[in-house]
Amino acid sequence: MVITQLPRFQYLVFRKPPPSFNIFPKPKLPNKFTSPKLFSVPKSTLSTTEPIPITHISLPEEEPRLEISLDKLFVPPETEVSCDDPNLSTRILKGSNIVLSKYARDAQVVQAEFVKSSVRTDDCPSDGLPEFALVGRSNVGKSSLLNSLVRRKRLALTSKKPGKTQCINHFRINDKWYLVDLPGYGYAAAPQELRTDWSKFTKDYFLNRSTLVSVFLLIDASIPAKPIDLEYASWLGQNQIPMTLVFTKCDKRKKKKNGGKRPEENVRDFQELIRGFFQTAPPWIMTSSVTNQGRDEILLHMAQLRNYWLKH
């Protein structure tokens, strides 16, 4: 049966357009709910039937922690949370603000295959299967993340040269849904005219692709927030495009010269910068294609979004 015209899963409410992003204030974190497991490299929590609670992993005393207040959690529809729930921390995906729901099942990737490349939304696959789009600045690690998700080294070609992805690339997963690799924005080794075309057909895809469940916006967590990333998140919010923030390169834990901040600090700063522009907290998750941190958690999150989308 071909699935068509299913509703999008709307979970972001955009509040107002952002001002010019030229400062990165240190966030304030009052009244916190603390999850000490947020920045550990997770074990697999995948399930093919029912969601599996996250098991406790103790961290060394020096391991950084990110405190999350209840209002900053992403709570899926038909899911209840309470600050009085002693088991709430076990329901939050590691390295994220995402609460597991009853729809987090059938998350394993058994089969993955490249289907086609398109330069127009109308040329994309027409079988009606739900899909998740990966997008981010050039060389942020989109193809590496895609390969990590499907446990294939070269399903999507990777390159140290920005601008490798130049089309809308569809990869069919388990013959049931798609991962979509989109052209990176920002710098790319291509003429300005071609980069403008990429931007045009990417935005057209976001606005008109009826089977798009969510955009996964990749942000480099090894460096401070970039204005172009904030603007992209703002544009998605303004246009009510469902979005999940995926912070990449979280294995780079040594302090950098660019402000001396660790990945979790850059993640926290980015959240504070966009917090004023969304009435509800966008879901986010920390990842590393080197250590596979966040791999299973992304698949569980995709599963709960996908299963809810299919039901409604």
Structural domains for the chain: 69-311 (3.40.50.300)
Looking at residue 137, its amino acid is: R
Q: Residue 73: how many CA atoms within 13 Å on its side-chain side?
A: 27
Q: How confident is the model at residue 74 (pLDDT cuts 50, 70, 90)?
A: very high
Q: How confident is the model at residue 50 (pLDDT cuts 50, 70, 90)?
A: very low
| pLDDT tens, position by position, 132-147 | 999 999 889 888 899 8
b/e code 117-150 from CB counts within 10 Å (16+ = b): ebeebeebbeeebbbbbbbbbbbbbbbbbbbbbb
The CA-based angle 254-255-261, given to 5 degrees, is 125
| pLDDT tens, position by position, 256-306 | 554 578 899 999 999 989 887 787 889 999 999 889 999 999 999 999 999
Cα separation of 94 and 98, whole Å? 8
| pLDDT tens, position by position, 77-135 | 999 988 888 888 899 999 999 999 999 999 999 999 999 999 899 999 999 999 999 99
Strand order in the sheet with 212-220: 112-118, 168-173, 177-181, 131-136, 212-220, 243-248, 284-286
Contact 98, 81 (CB under 8 A): no
- Predicted structure pTM score: 0.77
Q: How confident is the model at residue 219 (pLDDT cuts 50, 70, 90)?
A: very high
Cα separation of 162 and 139, whole Å? 5
